[in-house]
């Protein structure tokens, strides 16, 4: 019952409300410049989280706002926002990865699935990173370029 009262007090035109959708928000928006391909999960995740935070929608993928009961007044706004975030997620991953999440209907479940698959420690990737780090030298690069390359590895 408290949830119902809260929903009545939070108008959908309140821009600070996570259920607010701006008129320019649409399912075709691409929020991050680089698609998730698997090996770039950490950079993609940070970019995507930042974009969702700016849109006040991070709560739909971090588990802060879970699907309300069907009779809850927030159910329909949650469905709309969750669907929008799912569209943004699908637009930000490679076609192959998209096909693997196509039938998940909860943005939190999709984000959890992607995190479980792509953020795990891979001994091969760790070895590759160590090799890149060991072979990195400043050479003819200026200090800023060398430092940037060092941070990228």
Predicted confidence at residue 124, as pLDDT, reads 74
Spacing of C-alpha 76 from chain mean position: 22
Q: Are residues 113 and 148 in the same domain?
A: no
Q: Are residues 57 and 78 in the same domain?
A: yes
* Counted domains in the chain: 2
Task: Looking at mean pLDDT, say which of 8-12, 36-40, 86-90 comes out highest.
Answer: 86-90
Q: Are residues 31 and 61 in the same domain?
A: yes
Q: Are residues 56 and 26 in the same domain?
A: yes
pTM more than 0.85:
no
Q: Are residues 40 and 99 in the same domain?
A: yes
Q: Are residues 101 and 135 in the same domain?
A: no
Q: Are residues 99 and 151 in the same domain?
A: no
Tens digits of per-residue pLDDT, 74-122?
999 999 999 999 999 999 999 999 999 999 999 999 999 999 998 876 6
| Mean pLDDT rounded to a whole number for the chain | 86
Q: Are residues 103 and 135 in the same domain?
A: no
Residue 71 has pLDDT above 80, yes or no: yes
Q: Are residues 32 and 77 in the same domain?
A: yes
CA distance 14 to 117: 36
| Region of poorest pLDDT, from 66-75, 87-96, 142-151 | 142-151
Q: Are residues 36 and 109 in the same domain?
A: yes
What's the burial of 97, exposed, middle or buried (CB within 10 Å: 0-12/13-18/19+)? buried
Instruction: Using pLDDT thresholds of 50, 70 and 90, give the confidence band for residue 5.
Output: very low
Structural domain that includes position 52: 2-120
Closest to 141 in 3D by CA, of 128, 152, 125, 126: 152
Predicted confidence at residue 127, as pLDDT, reads 79
Cα dihedral sign, 113-115-119-120: negative
CA atoms within 13 A on the CB side of 125: 11
Q: Which two tokens stand for residue 64?
A: 């802060």
Q: For 31-35, what is the mean pLDDT? A: 95
Q: Are residues 131 and 146 in the same domain?
A: yes
Spacing of C-alpha 99 from chain mean position: 17
């Amino acid at each position: 019952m408290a949830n119902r009262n809260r929903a009545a007090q939070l108008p959908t035109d309140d821009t600070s409300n996570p259920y607010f959708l701006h008129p320019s928000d649409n399912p075709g928006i691409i929020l991050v410049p680089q698609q998730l391909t698997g090996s770039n999960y950490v950079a993609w995740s940070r970019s995507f989280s930042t974009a969702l935070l700016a849109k006040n929608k991070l709560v739909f993928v971090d588990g802060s706002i879970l699907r309300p009961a069907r009779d809850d007044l927030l159910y329909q706004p949650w469905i709309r926002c969750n669907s929008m975030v799912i569209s943004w997620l699908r637009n930000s991953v490679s076609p192959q990865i998209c096909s693997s999440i196509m039938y998940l209907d909860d943005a939190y479940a999709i984000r959890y699935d992607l995190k479980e698959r792509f953020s795990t420690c891979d001994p091969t990737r760790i070895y590759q990173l160590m090799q890149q780090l060991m072979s990195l030298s400043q050479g003819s690069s200026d200090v800023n370029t060398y430092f940037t390359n060092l941070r990228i590895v």
